[in-house]
Structure 1
Amino acid sequence: MNIQEIYFEEYGEGLQRSTMGRTITEADIVIHAGQTGDFYPHHMDEAWCRTQPFGRRIAHGTLILSIAAGMTAGDINPRAISYGYDRVRFIRPVFLGDTIRVTATIREKREDKKRPTHGIVVEMLEVLNQEQKLVLAAEHLYLVDRKTPVASVI
């Protein structure tokens, strides 16, 4: 775990980081199904999936989002906290045995209209499979301390 103290003013748009790969396993899918109650046949029934367009089981989109979030959580900034995710899109299926990687790019900085002591940093997450095809995209929002509070945000 790397701890870097970065204030809102210090974030630069375009700053990018990438992760190592992570292979999606049977255990990932079974555990996620148990945690969420999502036992849909798309994820759990190999025989049924053979009759469907994808031809095999697919990982839950929410599983891939969760793993991607975890893969980017190695760098800790005590001045920032996750504020949520926007514009989550499941672009292509992820199959058992696929290996995913995440690229995270600072896309935008904006004022926090509720808190003059904070700003919002938007980081674009792009999850690629082993064929370098985009499988998931999402915006991760961070609430970040400002070095200097703004006078008024309204």
Structure 2
Amino acid sequence: MYFKSIFFEDYIAESKRVTLGRTITETDFVVHAGHTGDFFPHHMDAEWCKTQPFKQRIAHGTMIFSIGIGLTASEINPEAFSKGYDRLRFVKPVFIGDTIHAVVTIAEKTDSKKPEYGTVIEHVDIINQHGEVVLVCDHILLAKRKPESNSNGDSPK
């Protein structure tokens, strides 16, 4: 992980970045259930799940969101900060043993209410090892604009 200053002007519409993958484990299920208190049988009861349509335990959607977004944190941009996520959808189930990765696409750039910032929308697809999208969301960033240069090309003091 490293720090890299990326200003609003540096974001390029439709550019993409792809993360490394991460395999989902039973330990992930147990730890997430403990953190959230979500011990629903869909996630924790293997025998009950055998009687259900998927025939196996399904990952907590919130866990896949957390892990998937965590995969995108391979770069830290000190010139932008998250305002949150919109249009979050759990598209397909994720199971123990599935490997997910994220594809981040710069979907939109707009002016912000604060003139020294711009808003960047990163569309995030979380994809399993079969190439299927399992989760989608839009990440809203507030990104600082580049400091204006003076006439001799130097940054203002």
Count residues in correspondence. Answer: 148
Distance 1:73 1:124 in 2: 14
SS in 2 for 1:59: coil
The CA deviation at 1:116 is 1.9
Match of 2:60 in 1: 60
One-letter amino acid of the structure 2 residue matched with residue 13 of structure 1: A
Cα separation, 1, equivalents of 2:30 and 2:112: 39
- Amino acid in the other structure paired with 1:5: S
| Overall identity of the aligned pairs, in % | 54
Alignment of 1:1-154 (within 5 A): 1-113=1-113, 115-147=114-146
Tell me how far 1:148 sits from its aligned partner: 5.4
Q: Residues 51-103 of structure 1: CA distance to partner in whole angstroms, max 9, x if unpaired? A: 11111000001100000111000111110111100000100000001000111
Counterpart-to-counterpart distance in 2, 1:112 and 1:37: 38
- Contiguous gaps of at least 5 residues in structure 2: 149-157
Q: What's the CA shift for 1:118?
A: 1.2
Q: Which runs of 5+ in 1 are unaligned?
A: 150-154
Q: Distance in 1 between matches of 2:118 and 2:38?
A: 36
Query: For 2:82 and 2:68, how far apart are their aligned partners in 1?
Result: 14
Give TM-score, length-normalised by structure 1: 0.92
Q: Distance in 1 between matches of 2:147 and 2:20?
A: 35
The TM-score with structure 2 as length reference comes to 0.90
For 2:46, the aligned partner's letter is: E
